Chains A and B, each alone.
Chain A
């Protein structure tokens, strides 16, 4: 028992010491907090903040990032508790609306942001609520889905050029697999919506289909949509062994450690891959069309924005920082440092691979259907796909059943689907 007592005494000493370890904040400057889900970009934001605070003395900004999977929950509960950040890195469309409806965000008036009129309409619209059409954030980036490829790895299977058509892409996958190598890095456990979204628009009919569904003229039971699901099934043999248990982090790691030929995903991984393995030589392409020279479809979306907490006690200072984030110099820095497509108008992109993405968006951009149109209420189209696609791959459900489930689930809140199922 004496040992136990000694242990307790040691603990008591430790905790007394640890009380002094607790940070003491200075009540001098205006102190702002910023929340984000971009854990990967933490160093970048902290750098930007450092320079901003040097140029704007009297302000202190703390950047806190949270794992993407928990971010929405963390943000919502912090806001609900009245303890949210001053500057909020918000997502777009449905996820934004969840913050708008309870009034957590402060609307931004047109005259409060310099250069607001130069932003493209669809980018600004992505930062408006579903019913409350005011602006709640300034857009920060565009994203698109495409195919990363490692030509050195492909050469091992005797392939010297990236595929020019989609059938050629599948043929290359087969050739790589026959050579005993790993064609696709993508796993089938998480982030399946992304893999699907890279090839899906080509099968379901791009923007025309999107408009039809949003208007309620078509549902997800449409044969073309089912075809898009089956296309993923077609790629299953080329995914890693035991793919249904391979998660997103492992998939990315497989690609950036040079152990797979292709990775279907978002352009936002460009910076991530480069950071994880600077020595890797890889390139990015939009999903190739069905026929040579045919129409290309690129799932794209405005990724979110920077907004202000409705309950902030420092709206003026927060607004000043937001204006900085809407400035061309910031946008330029953003694009150059973390290799993403800044939404700030007038930013010049010098990065070759990013430029490829931008031009492909301009040529064949189509809304990333579930994220853009169907995340407003639960169950979201994305969640239904995320559950359904792995089930399709592991054989529990057919593509048609998955499409059915998505339609039924969305129909519980999406009025235009009423009577269609």
Chain B
């Protein structure tokens, strides 16, 4: 990962670290409270990363920026929570997964294949249409109430490090479990990409569509697989987010935040999605708690986007993305 060794990357992280610890330097906060806020932010960041990973997967393999990822998260969560009302959870999860695979097939057949040679911007707008369709469809079929998802996540916050700091540090156990789940997911995905034949094929397609086709890799099937995997990731994200917030329409709006995450991390990098998510989550929480009061609050609504914007000005390809060269 030589991207990490680039001086601009190091400078960026150094600046961030300084900005992050400012509240303590300025005496605004003591370490235990700061740690609480930081950990809370990092854990929220993990949840953003979950959604972002789905985006990166699809972009890597099909060059499509899937604006519908958030809608997919909501749809997966809705399907699961409503099915779980009528059957054991495990069965509901399997059925939802099948539904997501079916959805991947439908999207490939009716949206991607007819638009295969169009420019990126057309495909992006098509996924915008898919997002709207899914939002309407999900709520039409499953209803638009707020549903609680019970997957056995711990609900009580725990106090850790009581010995080190007076009063200890409050940590949301649910977020912690979510982080562990995300780590497991990333590990599984990495294994899948590196060790299996399908994974290799996916990486080939991500590199060069035509070259992959010319050695016999069936593009259409690959895309169905990728979108299914993205659907699986969406399901995991849906479970985690839905358990935390309740399954409701605003879930797809929350997932909009995954966009600045992939910008920060680079569109083609899963580690980038994770780092980006952590940075955004951390930055959001810290700025809301410590900068917010000066601005009347509500900074969380735009902080991620402005950060992404600033980043784009200096590094359009993101932290770990590939540099884009225009050839004429």
Instruction: Decide whether A and B assemble into one complex.
Output: no
Interface residues of B (CB under 8 A from A): none
